């Protein structure tokens, strides 16, 4: 098969700024680069514009050979829509009650709150794509997991499930959402049995899935998040500084991230009582929805005197320019042994010093441990965070050129194309083969 056809089900795709977008874009581009015809089924961009904002600069990063088929949400994002003219009287009078009734209504076709409403329209679009140009392989990216349901809408076409994280348990708290013996667990096992392959972002999540569903373990792959070189990605000449600029880039999951201890640690390290001064710039969304929580805005407003500020979201296409203005990076992550963080690889690729403000039991530590410019907070107390910041500032006063060079070289191994090339080569062997032809459930490659 010289030019196989991939149908990629990605609920989030540019211009969406949802967290999975960068991986989805990179995967679609990598298939196109490998010589596949690629069709992407995704949510209509106007819905993203309304619920969380868009980044049209990101559209430029889509390979022009890719065909994008937008599909209306058909109510899947109704709770996130904030056009008050759409609101019923019930939603105004009793919003929790409205949401619960709506949740129950949407779960009828697929066991996922709200997003299940996307199953029918997206499946219909998938069948139309297949009728127009026969599909050889379907890849579905989660979350939402309704994408997996859409992947199964084409009978006898092999499909791959890109879990990224986990469906059966919470990757931050580790709490189980459903057991393998439950109805949901049995349904998931059936998906895994029928899938040609499934991807996870780290070994910790893959290992837990292999433990839960041993029959499918052979088909489970770790496809780590990498970085996608953006315009301007280049090694910077290191310069000594007495007032370093620290930066954070990403979506601030403030409920789970140790933001308050960080702010206190920053104040200790660089506040009015400290002889050392620094600047700290946060860029990105203040919540996954793009809304700005009042307490976070107030926290930044009160920290402004200490050199910290929030400068709003930034286009993905401009991130290299932002990194170019910084001396060091702040890596704030939620606590959890399954947490790698989408931005970790991107941070590493900058070659800049990284101050880690996260639990060192996180999966991210596996990537950072050998990085020559890693300054981890020993724990999440303000004192430990302040120590890490000070240690980094001290290194920046008299930077060691060789150490900076080693950090840059270390970071380039996380280029996403290097990660995706071997797994896509493997999938070429699967494309176009029926389920019967594949060794379903054993994980053995044909």
Site residues for another protein per CB under 8 A: 49-53, 81-85, 87, 92-97, 289-292, 294-295, 297-298, 301, 312
With respect to another protein, which residue has the nearer C-beta, 79 or 432? 79
Q: What is the DSSP letter of 286?
A: S
- Tell me whether residue 81 or residue 428 sits nearer to another protein (CB atom): 81
Nearer to another protein, 191 or 282 (CB): 282
Rounded to the nearest whole angstrom, what is the least distance from the CB of residue 181 to another protein in the complex? Answer: 27
Angle formed at CA 63 by CA 67 and CA 228, multiple of 5 degrees: 135
DSSP 232: T
Instruction: State in angstroms the smallest separation of the CB of 299 from another protein.
Output: 9
The span from the CA of 432 to the CA of 411, in Å, is 36
Closest approach, Cβ 321 to another protein, in A, equals 18
Tell me if 208 sits within 8 A of 166, measured CB to CB.
yes
User: Minimal distance in Å, beta carbon 101 to another protein?
Assistant: 13
Calculate the CA 342 to chain-centre distance: 5
In the complex, least distance from residue 440 CB atom to another protein, rounded to whole angstroms: 43
Minimum CB–partner distance for residue 114 and another protein (Å): 17
Residue 92 beta carbon to another protein: minimum distance, rounded to whole angstroms: 5
Q: Which is closer to another protein, CB of 114 or CB of 199? A: 114
Nearest approach in angstroms of CB 151 to another protein is: 29
Q: How far is the CB of 42 from another protein (least distance, A)?
A: 18
Cβ proximity to another protein: between 56 and 133 the closer is 56
- Contact criterion met (CB below 8 Å) for 372 and 407: yes
Residue 307 · residue 325 · CB < 8 Å: no
* Residue closer to another protein, measured from CB, 53 or 399: 53
* Long-range contacts from 297-306, C-beta under 8 angstroms, 24+ separation: 299/259, 299/260, 299/263, 303/263, 303/266, 303/267, 305/272, 306/266, 306/267, 306/270, 306/271, 306/272, 306/280
Nearer to another protein, 49 or 429 (CB): 49
β-pairing verdict for 137-141 and 245-249: unpaired
Per-residue burial over 267-278, b if 16 or more Cβ lie within 10 Å, else e, is bbbbbeebeeeb
CA distance linking residue 195 with residue 160, whole number of Å: 6
Nearest approach, Cβ of 287 to another protein (angstroms)? 10
Nearer residue to another protein within complex by CB, 298 or 425: 298
CA atoms within 13 A on the CB side of 64: 1
Packing angle, helices 343-350 and 401-411, rounded to 10: 140
- Pick between residue 322 and residue 410 the one whose CB is nearest to another protein: 322
Tell me if residue 249 falls in helix, strand or coil.
strand
Cβ partners under 8 Å of residue 244, min gap 6: 278, 279, 327, 328, 392, 393, 396
Euclidean distance between the first and the last CA atom of the chain, given in angstroms as a whole number: 15
Which element (helix H / strand E) includes 68?
strand 67-71
Name the residue nearer to another protein (CB basis): 302 or 442. Answer: 302
């Amino acid at each position: 098969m010289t030019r196989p056809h991939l149908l990629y089900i990605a609920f989030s795709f540019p211009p969406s700024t949802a967290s999975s977008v960068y991986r989805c874009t990179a995967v679609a581009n990598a298939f196109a680069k490998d010589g596949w015809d690629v069709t992407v089924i995704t949510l209509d961009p106007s819905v993203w514009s309304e619920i969380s904002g868009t980044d049209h600069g990101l559209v430029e990063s889509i390979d022009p050979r890719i065909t994008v088929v937008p599909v209306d949400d058909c109510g899947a994002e109704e709770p996130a829509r904030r056009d008050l003219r759409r609101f019923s009287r019930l939603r105004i009078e009793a919003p929790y009650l409205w949401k619960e009734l709506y949740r129950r209504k949407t779960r009828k076709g697929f066991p996922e709150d709200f997003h299940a409403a996307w199953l029918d329209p997206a499946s219909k679009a998938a069948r139309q794509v297949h009728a127009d140009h026969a599909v050889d392989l379907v890849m579905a990216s989660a979350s939402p997991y309704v994408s997996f349901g859409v992947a199964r809408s084409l009978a006898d076409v092999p499909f791959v499930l890109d879990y990224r994280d986990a469906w059966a348990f919470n990757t931050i708290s580790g709490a189980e959402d459903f057991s393998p013996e439950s109805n949901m667990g049995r349904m998931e096992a059936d998906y895994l049995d029928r899938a040609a392959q499934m991807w996870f972002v780290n070994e910790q999540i893959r290992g837990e899935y292999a433990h839960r569903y041993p029959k499918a373990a052979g088909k489970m792959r770790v496809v780590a998040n990498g970085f996608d070189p953006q315009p301007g990605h280049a090694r910077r000449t290191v310069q000594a500084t007495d007032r370093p600029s620290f930066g954070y880039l990403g979506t601030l999951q403030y409920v789970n991230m140790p933001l308050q201890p960080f702010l206190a640690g920053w104040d200790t390290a660089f506040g009015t009582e400290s002889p050392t001064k620094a600047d700290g710039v946060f860029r990105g969304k203040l919540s996954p929805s793009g809304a700005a929580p009042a307490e976070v805005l107030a926290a930044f407003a009160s920290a402004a005197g200490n050199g910290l500020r929030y400068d709003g979201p930034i286009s993905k296409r401009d991130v290299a320019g932002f990194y170019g203005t910084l001396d060091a990076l702040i890596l704030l992550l939620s606590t959890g042994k399954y947490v790698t963080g989408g931005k970790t690889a991107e941070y590493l690729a900058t070659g800049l010093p990284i101050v880690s403000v996260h639990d060192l039991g996180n999966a991210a530590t596996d990537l950072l441990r050998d990085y020559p410019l890693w300054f981890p907070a020993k724990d999440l107390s303000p004192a430990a965070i302040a120590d890490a910041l000070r240690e980094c500032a001290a290194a920046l006063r008299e930077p060691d050129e060789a150490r900076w060079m080693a950090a840059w070289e270390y970071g380039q191994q996380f280029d996403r194309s290097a990660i995706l090339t071997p797994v896509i080569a493997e999938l070429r062997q699967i494309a176009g083969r029926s389920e019967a032809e594949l060794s379903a459930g054993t994980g053995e490659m044909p």
